[in-house]
């Protein structure tokens, strides 16, 4: 209420700010930078099998989730869904990259329930992991502009995500969206995608188009600077 301007990263957050008394609330949809070309880029055809072999996903689908191992990430629901994938042939491998307070609890469930899931800790090669994946998973209870969703679409990886927060606005029709907390819906969406290569290719194409609608770094910076300019010009001398 005391702020001159409130910037929100999603329309829902802007609406919430207005409902709670913001005098001037505006959308400032910050996006991750798009992929940048290295002077000597890695060969994806060589890197993909190498990463899949390292993770133990040779000859089987690879599902990737990335984020802190905390309650709001919905990984308990993801483990519930993994029960259904054990019936598939070959059984998909689910890889969770990240660290957090739930690591011990999740690891116990994985071992006791014999789930096809690996916890690989914090990684600095998320782009490479996504490039090796068949599907990216985002089972969170709430997200604003999820970095994983943005990276998945940039990397042309089909995404299954919960229909929460800013996710629908972010991904449009370029992902499979499911209700939060519904393990059956999550499991079924993944099974359908694994059985439908045409649908996966359609999501890849839609992902590239959707990512092209997001603001660039320069556009984001320019918007924020324009707000500063506007406010400083209004300030009395």
The reported pLDDT for the residue numbered 39 is: 41
pLDDT at residue 42, rounded to an integer: 53
What distance in Å separates the CA atoms of residue 176 and residue 153, rounded to the nearest whole number? 12
CA-wise closest residue to 113 among 138, 137, 134, 84: 84
Tell me which residues of the chain have a pLDDT lower than 70.
Answer: 34-45, 234-237
Which domains does the chain possess? Answer: 6-30+216-234 (no CATH), 44-211 (3.40.50.2000)
The whole-number pLDDT of residue 43 equals 57
pTM of the complete model: 0.90
Per-residue model confidence (pLDDT) at position 32: 81
Per-residue model confidence (pLDDT) at position 121: 96
């Amino acid at each position: 209420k005391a702020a001159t301007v409130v910037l929100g990263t999603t329309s829902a957050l802007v609406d919430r700010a207005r409902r709670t008394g913001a005098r001037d609330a505006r959308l400032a949809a910050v996006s991750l930078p798009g992929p940048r070309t290295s002077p000597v880029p890695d060969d994806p055809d060589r890197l993909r099998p190498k990463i899949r072999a390292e993770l133990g996903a040779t000859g089987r689908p690879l599902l990737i989730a990335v984020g802190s191992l905390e309650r709001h990430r919905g990984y308990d629901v993801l483990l519930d869904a993994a029960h259904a994938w054990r019936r598939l042939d070959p059984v998909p491998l689910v890889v969770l990259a990240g660290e957090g307070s739930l690591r011990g609890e999740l690891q116990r469930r994985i071992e006791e329930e014999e789930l096809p899931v690996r916890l690989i800790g914090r990684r600095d090669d998320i782009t490479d992991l996504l490039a090796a994946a068949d599907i990216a998973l985002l089972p969170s209870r709430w997200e604003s502009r999820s970095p994983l969703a943005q990276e998945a679409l940039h990397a042309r990886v089909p995404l299954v995500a919960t229909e929460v927060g800013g996710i629908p606005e972010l991904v449009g029709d370029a992902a499979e969206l499911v209700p939060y907390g519904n393990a059956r819906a999550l499991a079924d969406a993944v099974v359908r995608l694994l059985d439908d290569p045409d649908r996966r290719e359609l999501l890849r194409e839609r992902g590239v188009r959707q990512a092209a609608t997001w603001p660039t770094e320069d556009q984001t910076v320019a918007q924020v600077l324009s707000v500063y300019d506007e406010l400083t010009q209004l300030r009395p001398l």
